[in-house]
Structure 1
Amino acid sequence: MVARIVEVDVLRGFALFGISVVNAVEGSGAAGAGDGAVYWGYETLLHQRFFPIFSFLFGVSFGLFLDAVGERSRRPRVVMLARLGFLMLFGALHRVLQPDEVLLSYAVVGVVVLVPASFLSGRVVLALGSVATAAGVLVAGGGSLLIPGLFLFGYGVQRGGVEGFLELARKRLVVVFVGAFLCAVVLNVWQVGSGSGVGARLAAVAGVVTAATYVIAILLLLRWRARGLLGVLAPVGRMALTGYIGATLIIWAVDYFVEVSDYGTAVALGIGVFLAELAFSTLWLRHARYGPLEWVWRCLTWWDVVPIRGQREPLGGRSSGGGGRG
């Protein structure tokens, strides 16, 4: 059995936090309002800064799941196609409430791009992912056209050994973080100065670099005493499907009864929704192996009733290591 990796779950939980806040803002009348400090703080720190992380991790998870399926099925790609096919169903239903949702796009790109890429070597996949991501940023201006490249890049990292990526020496991670942080600051200041919005190449580059900076920062913090604190994100990261769709339902319900029209209220709503998801995930996984929608998805994938109770995986899964190598 392929064990879970705590860093991947923590990163996914962190990405869901940002996505919950962004969806709350985008679902209200606050999005795009004004050009002051609050607006640009949202544009440079939150908007399109977590979507790249989520997409990258989908590629990583694709590889991890394919490896796990390979241990129990002679046709792992057929199982993966079934999994992605049912994800299309989740996405189509979710899109009724959230027109900008990504699950349907993820499933389609997974079938069209990731499954064929599984026949290629890890180095080729990583190279293709790098080129496609650069093209998505520089040519297409980001947005949903980043998905194929980030999927391939994440899958390429997994194929090359995600543990090796997560176990990079601390000094090397610090150097990479400093470089990424400085680039992110310059690009975000430039974005504000130029007034570049969604769809602009500069905004797309700034978004991807800022997302990379966040990932490296989380990996560094996991090497130090913040590991225990950040570990609380792992449960919601394990229940990403439940959390993503559940957040939409909560935000939709709140917006139905309460008018949310300013950034402060929308951000507070997003944070509150995420905290509710975090509490629910933590409590749920004390008694179950999978989240509610994750369990339904797994049952549909295998066309069988998969046990949901019984022996549980530890909430944090296993660490990749990297306990502080210099």
Structure 2
Amino acid sequence: MMTAPAVTGRTGFAQSSSGPRIGQLDALRGFALGGILLVNIGQIMHMADIVDLRKLPIPHVLDLTAHQRFFPLFSLLFGVGFGIFLQRAQTRAPRPRLLLLRRLAALAVLGAAHHWLQPGEALLGYALIGIVVLLPLSWAPRWMNLAIGLAAIVVPTALFGSGFLLVPGLLVTGFALAQLGLPNALDRLGPHLLAVFVLAAAGSVAALLWQEQDPLNAGFTVSSGVAGLTMALAYATGLLLILRTPVGRWFAPTLEALGRMALTNYITATLLIVSFGPLLGLKGSSAWPTMLGLAVAILAVQALWSRWWLARFRYGPLEWAWRRVTWWRRVDLR
């Protein structure tokens, strides 16, 4: 039987080891990046997905498998990352929340610059919500934060479906999970993960059938929001289970490399899309097979690039710059 983890006095976090990265979280982050890329290309290029009041086949499949499925996972993991950062900063600095504030401010600057390339991008929102919501809640009890986060997911989903309104709840929930020490307990959650995966998969089937009642408005309905959350949970727990198998251990290093350089890969993907998308005739078109080809090409390049870079350097380029600004001192890149 697992005992409750000890809690530190200053930030309310469960005590855990402070140094090593958690590879499973990096793999989840890399997986989420790939799914987000499938969504972002069409949105950035303003591609047509409905012709003659009929949903085109590839956008329809993406509505069922990708849209609103990966951004909840990506947002949750950002909340977890903020929580882990504050947890570890408290062992290294007398004012850990000041470091988190500086980290969030730097992310806001980067997000504002990225917004010029991709209006509606996520980083600026993450930073502002972190400053306004997460920092004050870092003084609250961890179970209260979990309750607040879950409520802030369920209520907007029930009222409005999917969309940016879910992001505060996802960030707070991820932050609370870090406070509870869940990331460090992933290796001990095998049976629990399987149970959650089975329930989430069953819920996903029901939610998809519900979403299919109104395919033209997918992404703007309550059914889409419910399907997105249940499938995100099924994807996350399913991947964590696969990572425990020989097949999962084979491709885990690639996903982990993508996830360790998530910030760099997220920004560079946008640069590649706006550079090559128009050249491929994607802007305003319905050339969805070409879009899939571009997505595969970007992921392949980023997978190779990430593994090559991390074999030589400790951090991705933007991750290193972000860390240096956060700690406001020299950080060894090699």
Global fold match (TM > 0.5)? yes
Are residue 232 (structure 1) and residue 254 (structure 2) matched? yes
CA deviation digits over 1:18-50, x for unaligned, max 9? 111211122234353341443321101011110
Q: Is the 8 A contact 2:25 2:183 kept in 1?
A: no
Q: CA deviation at 1:245?
A: 0.3
Are residue 25 (structure 1) and residue 42 (structure 2) matched? yes
2:328 match: 303
CA deviation digits over 1:187-240, x for unaligned, max 9? 112211233422211111111111111001011101211222233110110111
1:82 match: 102
Task: Specify which structure has the bigger relative contact order, considering alpha-carbon pairs within 8 angstroms and separated by 6 or more residues.
Answer: 1
Percent identical across equivalent pairs?
39
Counterpart of 2:295, as a letter, is G
Counterpart of 1:32, as a letter, is D
Task: Pick closer, same or farther for the CA change 1:219–1:91 going to 2, 3 Å.
Answer: same
Q: In 2, distance between residues paired with 1:303 and 1:156?
A: 27
Q: In 1, distance between residues paired with 2:142 and 2:299?
A: 35
Alignment of 1:89-238 (within 5 A): 89-163=109-183, 166-195=186-215, 196-225=217-246, 226-238=248-260
Are residue 293 (structure 1) and residue 318 (structure 2) matched? yes
Q: Is the 8 A contact 2:177 2:183 kept in 1?
A: no
Counterpart of 1:67, as a letter, is Q
2:13 match: none
Q: In 1, distance between residues paired with 2:226 and 2:21?
A: 31
Q: Is the 8 A contact 1:128 1:152 kept in 2?
A: yes
Q: Is the 8 A contact 2:22 2:184 kept in 1?
A: no
Q: In 2, distance between residues paired with 1:209 and 1:190?
A: 13
2:64 match: 44
Worse-matched range after superposition: 72-81 or 165-174: 165-174
Q: Is the 8 A contact 2:204 2:230 kept in 1?
A: yes
Match of 1:245 among 260, 267, 270: 267
CA deviation digits over 1:70-119, x for unaligned, max 9? 12110000011001001110001001111021100010001111111110
Cα RMSD, aligned residues only: 1.5
Q: In 2, distance between residues paired with 1:64 and 1:113?
A: 16
Report the TM-score when normalising by structure 2: 0.88
Are residue 10 (structure 1) and residue 27 (structure 2) matched? yes
Counterpart of 2:219, as a letter, is V
Q: Is the 8 A contact 1:23 1:270 kept in 2?
A: no
Q: CA deviation at 1:17?
A: 0.6
Unaligned runs of 5+ in 2: 1-17
- Secondary structure at the aligned position of 1:96 is classed as helix
Task: Pick closer, same or farther for the CA change 1:299–1:31 going to 2, 3 Å.
Answer: farther
CA deviation digits over 1:231-269, x for unaligned, max 9? 311011011110000000001100232212322211221
Q: Is the 8 A contact 1:191 1:203 kept in 2?
A: yes
Counterpart of 1:213, as a letter, is A
- Secondary structure at the aligned position of 1:257 is classed as coil
Q: Is the 8 A contact 2:201 2:231 kept in 1?
A: yes
Q: CA deviation at 1:278?
A: 1.2
Query: How many correspondences in the alignment?
Result: 309
Task: Pick closer, same or farther for the CA change 1:71–1:165 going to 2, 3 Å.
Answer: closer
- Secondary structure at the aligned position of 1:304 is classed as coil
